[in-house]
A and B are shown apart, each in its own frame.
Chain A
């Protein structure tokens, strides 16, 4: 099955970060920006301010200088608005970004208004994923806010004919150095049209004196969520709106053979829309739409499709390349005193965002507006532009704060389906996927097979390491340890089910294999798994994370009877994480209980400790599901457990005692936290089970039934 580059990019945008031309095809040039801004004071950021030199080299420099990437504006009333194409899916960046801006402008977080993810109002952004918001957007908004602050001061200084340096600022007011006169931001913005590019050299408030940033500010607009007032896309309704449902194939690869729509069409208020293989119905309410869908009589041609029982063989058989074997590696392996070869297998898992995909679409003439919960509003805008062959300016995509994504909402299916139905019926349409559709037709975290061969010399030094990953991906494939002969390779294969990004991408699979294998090597020579790792580690930050975790956990303490300890670590996207696990295994029944998890995490300077901790805890506990029991079951192209009752996710009762150690590195730029902390959970648990039973569980999920054979 060949996929076009485009669909690959939609599903794995992180892996195509160098395809940056899109950044400067963004709609907002300087000229447009100046034209559309009202009066006030603003600082803006252009694309060349935000992207790395490596990427900049591939762009047209004059365009990159011209394309606006974000801005902060103070209008005449003193209202402060930040425009960014990033989106909020529960990672609380609306709050953390407001914090860094408030800090520089000497105002409260509530004074900052963020406009996010709206293709008409915000500058182009390639998407909210890959833990990039905090490392990229936070520092630049910090500078933009500081630049606005300097503009405010300059304006006040001019007004009073004094020097800028003696001016004080507090709570949205500039204060005269000697006579105590005050000018509010609103007064300073009156009648001005003062727009400047961000000053990359501007002094920002040092992290050590942060008062708003670096503290646990509660979620912005938290109240609208706990009162049910916040409108997620699935909650929206437009005047005259109808509800849409889409006819789905019974399995992957099935083609529509015959369709009889007459019974559905005879229902009152129902419209059936057919365009090639796209078939949908609309009705004035969803029970009627569901009924109409059930009335469609379709027959299908099915093609042979793989089943779960053939999955791992299939991935190896269909690999697009041959695994390479390097001669220096073969030599190192043959000279090794101890050798260990293992295979690890990883099942597909689903994101299961609690809010399924939803889209609302409305056409006005040839102009289309789509509201949808996506991590890539501008990507969806392009999908819509392609689907309807209309100019991009005619498509507006708006993304209200959404019911989570975890990497699973990079695409815009529901929005596109709604737009197709809306076009055909001439009415606004809402399409909300059912849980079953979400399991069957969204995309999954890739399954994979990982072969590892390794060798040690007689002193217990790992000397050879060969690592082949089939299908699950490249991310996190490099072992962080110092090993003389090393080779790792990712081999793309044919995936039986639709797959794409997931929190931390393939790192969950690769680090599971790396950390299991490394642990087993330590065991081969009776070495302490912590000491063995430290001996092979050079990276200072990962070393710190490991020792901080082990200290907090009490790694050296003696184990209770039938209890085992396990440890694992990893470095992902600027985040350094280690997890220690304590498990108990019942000596007769083999029932496994995860008793305790301690995770240490370091991602540079901390902007909001409580939200960071919440992200880390969320990652770790979500990781518990993939480690222990989550797996997609499928037969001949059909997902068999497409429901919450059939696919187990972590619940309250599954949650062990959990502790988080946050390492604050005020001297280092902040990195994102929505992904890295997930990676060490599974191997830490696996290694703990190994310690107490000697059993090597090399398959994810490890204990779907809750117990192992003892």
Chain B
């Protein structure tokens, strides 16, 4: 099956009915998208499908046919980090950083809709993503700053 990921047309094998997460990680070597729970409850596996953040773990790969998938690896443009990535770096918004890709993807989607969110709006929009190292205040700060940048 053909799949459009990060602007490229790629081919994946869907015989075993992989989830989008499994296809990205095991067939396309796009391992920036992480597994955390497998049930859509932690956000570690979020990717953008036609601009909407979806948990790739519970999204069958076959359902994204004809849609545009963006993963963490696809956020840079011409070697430039996305402002959200840049803000994560500047604020040092991670400890082990395992949650960071899913957080960043979700934040990118939030800022697309609402480029200058309040901290409360950030909390509400990000509540489906877990950071077990509990770097939450710094993550809110990073997204807030990225918003200020984009606004």
Contact = CB atoms under 8 A, between A and B. Distances in A.
Residue with the highest number of chain B CB atoms closer than 10 Å, among A225, A235, A622: A225
A617 B137 contact: yes
A218 interface: yes
Interface in B2-56: 16-19, 22, 25-27, 29-39, 41-42, 44
Interface string A225-257: 111111110110100000100000000000000
Contact of A226 (B37, B42, B88): B88
B73 A435 contact: no
B118 to A, nearest CB: 13
Contacts of B39: 435, 643-645
A232 B98 contact: yes
B89 interface: yes
B136 A652 contact: yes
A487 interface: no
A403 B101 CA distance: 12
Contacts of B97: 90, 219, 222, 225-226, 230, 403
A99 interface: no
Given A222-B92, A226-B97, A355-B96, A621 B136 contact: yes
B37 A435 contact: yes
Contacts of A135: none
B88 A354 contact: no
B116 interface: no
Given A235-B25, A355-B34, A643-B37, A287 B98 contact: no
Contacts of B33: 228
A287 B16 contact: yes
A647 to B, nearest CB: 10
Contacts of A653: 123-124, 127
A286 to B, nearest CB: 6
Interface in A657-690: 658
A291 B16 contact: yes
Interface stretch (A32-40, A56-64, A180-188, A608-616): A608-616
A435 B38 contact: yes
A303 interface: no
Nearest to B76: A227
Interface string B85-111: 100111010111111110010000000
A469 interface: no
Contacts of B59: none
Contact of B123 (A285, A406, A652): A652
Contact of B85 (A92, A216, A226, A652): A226
B132 A234 contact: no
Interface size class of A (residues with CB under 8 A): 35 or more
A31 interface: no
A352 interface: yes
Contacts of A645: 37, 39, 41
Residue with the highest number of chain A CB atoms closer than 10 Å, among B81, B96, B132: B96
A644 B130 CA distance: 10
Interface in A254-294: 285-288, 291
B89 A652 contact: no
Contacts of A403: 34, 96-98
A286 B26 contact: yes
A171 B25 CA distance: 41
Given A644-B130, A645-B41, A219 B94 contact: yes
A353 interface: yes
Contact of A216 (B92, B131, B135, B137): B92
A172 B72 CA distance: 36
A223 interface: yes
Interface of A: 89-92, 216, 218-219, 222-223, 225-232, 234-235, 237, 243, 285-288, 291, 352-356, 401-404, 406, 432, 434-435, 610-611, 614-615, 617-622, 624, 643-645, 649-653, 655, 658
Interface of B: 16-19, 22, 25-27, 29-39, 41-42, 44, 71-73, 75-76, 81, 85, 88-90, 92, 94-101, 104, 122-124, 126-127, 129-140
7 contacts: A225-B94, A229-B73, A353-B132, A354-B133, A617-B134, A652-B129, A652-B136
- Lowest 7 A-B CB distances belong to which pairs? A228-B32, A90-B96, A403-B98, A621-B134, A235-B31, A225-B97, A90-B95
